[in-house]
Structure 1
Amino acid sequence: MSHQTGILATDELRDFFAASKEGGANEGRYRAIKVSIENETLVLSDSGLADGTFEEDWDTIVLPMLEEKQPCYIFYRLDSRESHGGFEWLFLAYSPDLAHVREKMTYAATRATLKKEFGQGQIKEEVFGTTPEDISLAGYHKHLQAQSAPAPLTEAEEELRYIKQQEVTTCTNSHNSSILLNDKMQMSCIQDSRFSYYNREMPPPVAPRSRRTRGVSTHIHVETRQQTVQGVAFPIAQAAVAKLQQLKEGQINYVRLELDMDRETIELSGAEDTTVQSLPQRVPEDHPRYHFFVFKHTHEGDYQESVVFIYSMPGYKCSIKERMLYSSCKAPLLDQTEHNIGITVSKKVEIDDGAELTEEFLMDELHPKKNAYREKFARPQGPAGKRGPRRMIRGTNTPSS
């Protein structure tokens, strides 16, 4: 409910409204009625006579009524009529940016009162503008286009629409390389792109197996791109597989992978021994990447070598296509490296800036700090020796024997 200012129309303005509308003496004569606020009352400020159609009269009548720093209201009559026979009107609310803030607030709070004084039943539409272009005929046409246009898509809906377009295009170009995304996978991709599912647990492993479909044997292995429930599995290049094997055997401690979106494969981007201090330099600032890093450390006196999977996603610095593909390929990649190559990932983390990768950050991720034990609140004992003597409860008198 909007705030009301208590500003009302003058009797002169009410009489003019009545004469200009249905059944009045001047019905159809006036094209526009300008109303202003003066001395805390709504007054008739100006009016314009009809000469042609409402589109022909618009700019010649409405625009001269507008002042650079002064808000106003304009009732503009259309040529169309309502079902009961009266003309339809537009309510134009003009509030320029250069006007005083107090005036703009007063005009905004009085709009509901003025429409009630005029009669809301004959107001077809309301148009608000801060510049003369907004109140012009061209601005009114833009307003109608905006009203008839579909509602803007949310970020998730926009990304889902993009995925469907890519699915159709890919299926048309090549059936063998098509990416068929079901509804569940699509929603998973969208949620991944909004950074909500990066740390979820992986599903139970599915061992490589052979399956027969109409007499054709298809073996699922590292180099086979396949559709999964969680995403789309691109084949891993042989060079990348070799480096991952070396990481598993302890020959190197860092492997970086990237997606070749044209060939639809996972390629090797870098592999070398690195330290935690130089790890942030391995993270690109404008493209996503997958990183496998063997973090050698000591925890509670035990020496450990933990494989950390790092998914670097620099937010909106990269394209929607990259975000979608990297998020949908992440889970299948981890599944392949764990069950086909044999790498056990101790921790999966997602970052948007390489500067986050510090030794303290990795230690906190691998070994979260436990909350210190807090003693339960002990009720304090009452003051000793101040309760007085114990009460004696007298029993029921019994007849003496």
Structure 2
Amino acid sequence: MSAASGIGISKDLSEIFASAVAGSAVRFIKVAIENESLVSRGTTDVEGATLEDDLGKLQTLLEDNEPAYVLARIGSPKAKDVGWIAISYVPDTANVRGKMLYASTRSALTKSLGSAHFSDSLFATSKADITPRAYAAHKARHTAPQPLSAREQEIADVRAAERAAGGTYEGSTARRNHVGQTVGMTWSDEAKKAVKDLGQGSGNELVLLSIDDTETLVLSSASECPVEELSKRIPKSDPSFAFYAWSHDHGSPSGAKRDISTVPLFQKAQVKNRMIYSLQARALHHIAKSHLADMPSVLSERKIETSDPTELNEGFLKSELGLGTSASPPGSGTSTPRPGGQAPGFARPKGPGRKR
């Protein structure tokens, strides 16, 4: 069951998928959310030798404006080790509630059916994203090396030159994670879109991201979240990263402001997971900032940190973000006046007493 949406898997869907995994000739299982449950809306049998051969059937299986999930067999029924792909179809023309509901439930769908069965996932916003040509491009992106920014390419060129010259020094800033890779991991398309959508919104919204088995940052949930509900929506045990967009009128002359803050949450995770998440926290903040660079709502420079998610309330957010306080910042040269309007004096420091 999805902790964010309260939606679980129906018994009928579970049985249909189990039968398909066991070897029935099913290519596609269409899944929809009905009466607070994930249910099967029909199956399509295998005809072609590969998934690409049958992808054309999705053009009639799916509706133009109606979100749905599609569980798709990648190979033939005999090739059980090839696995399945979870397709999340959320059209741009769908209503906002539908978009959030399906975005926040996808992770629960695959976990409830068994994550080990799914070797890939695909996020589609139109039928054009699930054609054979689009799927081929999707696979090519996953196998191709990740593109580098101009700065990253410059660093890579310098290191390549050092290796060619026989140098071994990498500098103290070359931080590594537990498998020896440079800190900063791949973002899934869903995770990128959820954070960008957050920057274009206007209300209070919560996006939760997590790291999957392939060390990719994926979307766990995205939903509207009033500030008084924040502490209840945050996972108490599973490690995650949270982005919270908060619309408020604290500390803004115009009376309206929207802060987006990162909340690293991994305090109760296993030691290995705590290490992975803590290494990614700084990189996550900088990458998210670049995703939101041209958005109406920008990422706050302050990260909210807590070891107890239950203390996440309006007062705590104001304190962490420095809102609604009249105290002068450190080093400003001003001080709090004493009663009677007298400024505080400064006592002359006394030197150490002379020994006799």
Please state which band the TM-score falls in when normalised by the shorter chain: 0.3 to 0.5
- TM-score norm. by structure 2 comes to 0.43
Q: Higher relative contact order at CA 8 Å, sep ≥6: structure 1 or structure 2?
A: 2
> What TM-score results when the alignment is normalised by the length of structure 1?
0.38
Bigger Cα Rg: 1
